[in-house]
């Protein structure tokens, strides 16, 4: 097994108080049923931000919990990395808003855009910065207000997503704890299968864009499903190989929580029984990059894993991007 250089010292999570169930879609004019959504996705409800809840506020709340558990003060943070597909503003990075709210005066702060793989991409960057000596203490936040960027008139997408945030404090490895492997890939030739077509620099916001709703998330669901299953299974194997571990060494698989059928297919292809797979998609929907740290935090709080446990995390998302990591907690 590889000697780790950086470890996840502590994690935290924060989700909006407001819960929207599958039955609540009727009230906003969406023609769907609880049965349809459950059968295709395994999602029963999701948290949706209320007034004043933002990508920054959710991320900062999760960060405070992680920092308290790690015993880290805001002034000790060297770097704040925020992964998000739903930044509060396009400029500047939402990470600097989190920095300001936390009072992390010494830190540099920046966003990364890797969709649902953001937490694992961020983990890889944090590990690299600690390894190179560029940072000692990194705050990695994955925060999403997906409700702000999904099309609430499109029943094929709006039922899938939810809001929430997870955060991790990453420091130099101690006692053999830490990141044993990370694996990242992307394929930009598939970008148009899951994207926001307009509203960026190529086609800036305009009345026509608003009218066509092309500034919101568009997705070719079936294609995404197919690629997700294939890429998640490949990713899981690669992270295990890089960590020089076998499936039997894994205490818990935490897959990106997009869809129960994708999770089950990933577990099956990887050879990990479902009782070693963490699933909470039924309560949160797809919270993009926040899904893995929210699940990790829940699994730790429930005592399913703790110090010394070996966890495999696997993600897939827009880009397409796919990624995986094995950590010893």
Instruction: List active site positions.
Output: 116, 256, 286
Interaction between residue 10 and ligand COA (CB under 6 A): no
d(CA 132, CA 262): 36
Structural contact between residues 245 and 1, judged by C-beta atoms closer than 8 angstroms: yes
Interaction between residue 186 and ligand COA (CB under 6 A): no
**Beta-carbon contacts of residue 92 (< 8 Å; ≥ 6 apart):** none
Interaction between residue 236 and ligand COA (CB under 6 A): no
Tokens representing 1?
A: 């097994």
Interaction between residue 286 and ligand COA (CB under 6 A): yes
Q: How many residues bind ligand COA (CB under 6 A)?
A: 21
Tokens representing 141?
A: 């936040």
Interaction between residue 26 and ligand COA (CB under 6 A): no
Which of the ranges 35-43, 53-61, 64-72, 140-148 carries the binding residues for ligand COA, by CB under 6 A?
35-43
d(CA 280, CA 298): 9
Residues 28-54: b if buried by 16+ CB within 10 A, e if exposed: eeeeeebeebeebbbbbbbbbbeeebb
Candidates 17, 51, 222, 307: give the one binding ligand COA (CB under 6 A): 222
Q: Using CB positions, name the residue nearest to ligand COA.
A: 221
Which of the ranges 45-53, 133-141, 218-226, 276-284 carries the binding residues for ligand COA, by CB under 6 A?
218-226
d(CA 11, CA 306): 12
Structural contact between residues 290 and 280, judged by C-beta atoms closer than 8 angstroms: no
* Of residues 115 and 245, the one with the C-beta less far from ligand COA: 115
Q: For ligand COA, what does the binding mask look like between residues 72 and 111, x meaning CB under 6 A?
A: ----------------------------------------
Tokens 């991007």 appear where? 321
- The three-class DSSP label of residue 183 is strand
Candidates 95, 258, 292, 305: give the one binding ligand COA (CB under 6 A): 258
Candidates 317, 323, 324, 329: give the one binding ligand COA (CB under 6 A): 317
Tokens representing 75?
A: 């002034």
Residues that bind ligand COA (CB under 6 A): 32, 36-37, 40-41, 116, 155-156, 159-160, 219, 221-222, 224-225, 228, 258-259, 286, 316-317
């Amino acid at each position: 097994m590889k000697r780790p250089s950086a470890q996840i010292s502590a994690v935290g999570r924060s989700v909006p108080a407001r819960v929207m169930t599958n039955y609540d879609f009727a009230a906003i004019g969406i023609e769907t049923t609880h049965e349809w959504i459950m059968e295709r996705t395994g999602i029963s409800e999701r948290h949706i931000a209320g007034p004043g809840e933002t990508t920054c506020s959710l991320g900062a709340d999760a960060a405070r919990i992680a920092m308290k558990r790690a015993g880290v003060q805001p002034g000790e943070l060297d770097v704040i990395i925020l992964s998000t597909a739903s930044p509060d503003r396009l400029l500047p990075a939402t990470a600097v808003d989190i920095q300001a709210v936390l009072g992390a005066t010494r830190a540099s702060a920046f966003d990364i855009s890797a969709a649902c793989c953001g937490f694992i991409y961020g983990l890889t960057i944090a590990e690299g910065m600690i390894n190179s000596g560029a940072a000692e203490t990194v705050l990695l936040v994955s925060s999403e207000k997906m409700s702000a960027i999904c099309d609430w008139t499109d029943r094929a997408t709006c039922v899938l997503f939810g809001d929430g945030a997870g955060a991790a404090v990453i420091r130099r490895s101690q006692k053999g704890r830490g990141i044993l492997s990370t694996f990242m890939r992307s394929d930009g030739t598939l970008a148009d299968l899951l994207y926001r077509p307009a509203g960026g620099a190529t086609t800036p916001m305009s009345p026509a864009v608003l009218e066509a709703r092309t500034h919101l998330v568009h997705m070719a669901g079936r294609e995404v499903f197919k690629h997700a299953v294939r890429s998640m299974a490949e990713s899981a194997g690669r992270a295990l190989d890089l960590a020089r571990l076998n499936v039997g060494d894994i205490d818990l698989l935490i897959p990106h929580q997009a869809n129960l059928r994708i999770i089950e297919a990933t577990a099956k292809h990887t050879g990990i029984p479902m009782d070693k797979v963490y699933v909470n998609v039924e309560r949160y929907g797809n919270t993009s990059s926040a899904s893995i740290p929210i699940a990790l935090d829940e699994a730790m709080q429930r005592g399913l894993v703790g110090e010394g446990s070996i966890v495999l995390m696997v993600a897939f998302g827009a880009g397409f991007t796919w990624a995986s990591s094995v950590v010893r907690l």
